Structures are given as C-alpha cells and as structure tokens.
C-alpha cells in the first residue's frame, strides 16, 4: 500500500520529537509533506526551532518546516515549561538547526496542500493545540471535505485532566480551536490521556532506546530522562507517557489501539471545566458520533515498533 501523505502539526516538546522521529523513520508508511509548528508547550519561536532540530537529528534536513500561529484563537497562550523545560526539548544537548524554515505560513501550507492533493488523500496529525488546524478550517471551509483523517493527540475522559482537573493540555490551550476541529465533519481519531498514560517509558524501555547505540537512541533516552519527572512526581507512574508518538504509531499499525466511535464535545463556556473533552463513551446522549476515541494500547507492541523504527535513523 502507498505511504499515507501526512502533515504533522506540532509544538515540540520531547514527546512530539519522538512522534516526528517515528514518522521520518517510516517512509514506507508515511510521506511527511510538511511539519507545521504551533505555539503550545513553549512559544512559537522555540517550537519552530525545535521541529527543525528534530528533523536534523533524524538526518532529514530537506523536510519542510513551517511556522504557524503564535497564540490561541481567543485566549492568552498557556505553555508547559514545567514539563518540557525552558527550551521545550530539555534533556539532550542538540545543535541549533541550520536547515531553513519555509517562507509560507503554516496555515496557508495546510490549505494549499489540501486543495492541491487529491481529495481524501492527506491525513492531518495534530500533536499540540489545534490553533493552526482551526484557523485553516475557518479561512477555507472547503478543505474539511478533502481531509482523509485527523489523527490527533488530545483530550481525556476516564483519565481526566493534566493541566486542570478537567482538561488535557492541547485542548485546554485553545478550546475554541478544538471546538471547530471536532465539528468540522472530517473523520477524527483521538489519542487522549486515557491511552497515552498506558504508553509509559519504563526503565527497561528507556534502556532499550539507549541500547540502540545511535545519536537518535541516546537523544530519545535523554529526552525521556528529563520529561518523565513531571509525570512520575504527579502520578507516581513508572515512566514518562509517550503521548504524541501514539499518533504516528497508529498510522503504522492501527491494530495496536482500540477505542469507540462516539460523540466528543469541547467545553468552551465554563471556567471550571474549560477545555474538557466531554466524551459520550457510554452513549447516554443522542449526540451524533464525531470521533474514534482511543482507550487502550498494546504497549509492548508499541515500544517494540518504536524502538525498531528509531534504530533506522
Ligand atoms: O497533554 C499532553 C500533550 O500536551 C502532548 O502533546 C504534549 O506534547 C503537550 O503538547
Ligand atoms: Ca505536543
């Protein structure tokens, strides 16, 4: 089968970095048409730089990286240096990028790509706040029908929130954008905390990254060593949750994941539950299903795939 054409929309972020490395290591599964940076974990000047750092770490300096929106649609930016460090990629010491940033704005790239490629052949992979995607949909409503699938990391239901008691970070940062995306009508697959918190980089799994014995393996192990401390302290978990790589792993082997096609709405009115993904997991409403909400993962299979693919770089 031909590789899926994808656009990765991202706010690197160590876990974004691993998701990007997995995609760039898997040309038989994914053709990365471009990487669009958005403000999120850290401000845009850092996310656009980090995206290029990761492409060069993968020895893929010809990857097209675009800079996108530097703030949510209607709110002040909330960042997550407390998790990812000041640079957003704390952990390894990686050189500043020398590859160029594309001149075109990320939103224009998303619109133009969806209008140029055949309908239903481009998958969007948002790994951060949905500001770029929502802005593209607002500016060019015609693209919604041309999207093959949106496979995003965001939200939470049984796992509840990680930035507030009710909300997961990506959705919380720009809930108005999330509302637009979840209402756009394109097929959506959601990787919420319910599943990403089951993809934990335990010490043996991080040892396996390090045992790859390459600069990529070492860098990923050092990224994990850094960003695991937040979750271990907060949840007492046995390692860092690899949120964003669940998105690109899904594109390689969807059988690693299970979920339900349900209705998911976004809270944008209440200060108390702002950014909550109200997932009708038990079908108690008659609201139409608009997303496949993933709840479980074959974690051993996920890490075996990830380690094997990272070793290619
Ligand atoms: O809540 C986890 C998500 O927020 C991940 O995508 C992480 O990179 C941050 O963007
Ligand atoms: Ca992210």
Query: In this model, does residue 230 exceed pLDDT 90?
Result: no
Residue 236 belongs to a domain with what CATH number?
Answer: 3.90.245.10
pLDDT in tens, 262-292: 999 999 999 999 999 999 999 999 999 999 9
Residue 140 CA neighbour count, 13 Å, CB half: 17
* Of 38, 52, 39, 49, nearest in space to 79 by CA: 39
Per the structure, the complete domain to which residue 28 belongs is given by 4-310
Catalytic residues: 243
Total domains, the chain? 1
Confidence of residue 137 (pLDDT cuts 50, 70, 90): very high
Burial of 118 (0-12, 13-18, 19+ CB in 10 A): exposed
Query: In this model, does residue 235 exceed pLDDT 90?
Result: no
At 231 the pLDDT is 85
pLDDT in tens, 103-116: 999 999 999 999 99
User: What is the number of the ligand 1 atom nearest to the C-alpha of 16?
Assistant: 8
Query: In this model, does residue 229 exceed pLDDT 90?
Result: no
Query: In this model, does residue 233 exceed pLDDT 90?
Result: no
User: What is the number of the ligand 1 atom nearest to the C-alpha of 15?
Assistant: 8
Mean pLDDT check: name the lowest of 174-183, 227-236, 237-246. 227-236
Ligand 1 close to Cβ of residue 127 (< 6 A)? yes
Q: What is the mean pLDDT of the chain?
A: 97
Ligand 1 close to Cβ of residue 13 (< 6 A)? yes
At 232 the pLDDT is 86
Confidence of residue 293 (pLDDT cuts 50, 70, 90): very high
Confidence of residue 143 (pLDDT cuts 50, 70, 90): very high
The residues pairing with 8 across neighbouring beta strands, listed in sequence order, are 35, 125
pLDDT in tens, 148-195: 999 999 999 999 999 999 999 999 999 999 999 999 999 999 999 999
Stretch 217-238: mean pLDDT = 91
pLDDT in tens, 17-33: 999 999 999 999 999 99
Residue of 128, 173, 246 best suited for mutating to test ligand 1, as the one with most atoms within 8 Å of CB: 128
**Alpha helix positions (H), the chain:** 14-24, 44-57, 81-84, 106-116, 131-139, 169-173, 175-182, 193-196, 203-211, 215-235, 245-252, 299-310
């Amino acid at each position: 089968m031909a590789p899926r054409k994808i656009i990765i929309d991202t706010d690197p972020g160590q876990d974004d970095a691993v998701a990007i490395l997995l995609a760039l290591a898997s040309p038989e599964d994914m053709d990365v048409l471009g990487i669009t940076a958005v403000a999120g974990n850290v401000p845009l000047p850092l996310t656009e730089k980090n995206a290029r750092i990761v492409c060069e770490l993968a020895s893929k300096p010809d990857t097209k990286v675009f800079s996108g929106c530097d703030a949510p649609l209607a709110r002040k930016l909330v960042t997550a240096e407390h998790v990812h460090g000041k640079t957003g990629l704390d952990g390894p010491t990686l050189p500043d990028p020398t590859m160029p940033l594309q001149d075109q704005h990320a939103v224009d790239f998303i619109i133009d790509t969806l209008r140029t490629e055949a309908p239903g052949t481009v998958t969007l992979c948002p790994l951060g706040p949905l500001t770029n995607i929502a802005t593209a949909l607002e500016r060019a409503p015609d693209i919604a029908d041309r999207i093959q699938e949106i496979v995003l990391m965001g939200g939470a239901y049984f796992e509840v929130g990680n930035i507030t008691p009710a909300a997961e970070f990506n959705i919380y940062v720009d809930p108005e954008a999330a509302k637009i995306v979840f209402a756009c009508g394109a097929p959506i697959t959601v990787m919420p905390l319910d599943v990403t918190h089951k993809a934990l980089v335990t010490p043996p799994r991080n040892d396996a990254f390090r045992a790859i014995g390459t600069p990529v393996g070492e860098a990923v192990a050092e990224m994990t060593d850094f960003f695991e401390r937040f979750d271990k302290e907060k949840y007492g978990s046995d390692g860092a949750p690899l949120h964003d790589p669940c998105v690109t792993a899904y594109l390689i082997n969807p059988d690693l994941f299970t979920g339900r096609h349900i209705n998911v709405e976004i809270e944008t009115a209440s200060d108390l539950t702002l950014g909550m993904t109200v997932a009708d997991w038990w079908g108690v409403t008659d609201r139409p299903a608009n997303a496949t909400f993933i709840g479980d993962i074959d974690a051993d299979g996920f890490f075996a795939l990830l380690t094997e693919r990272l070793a290619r770089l």
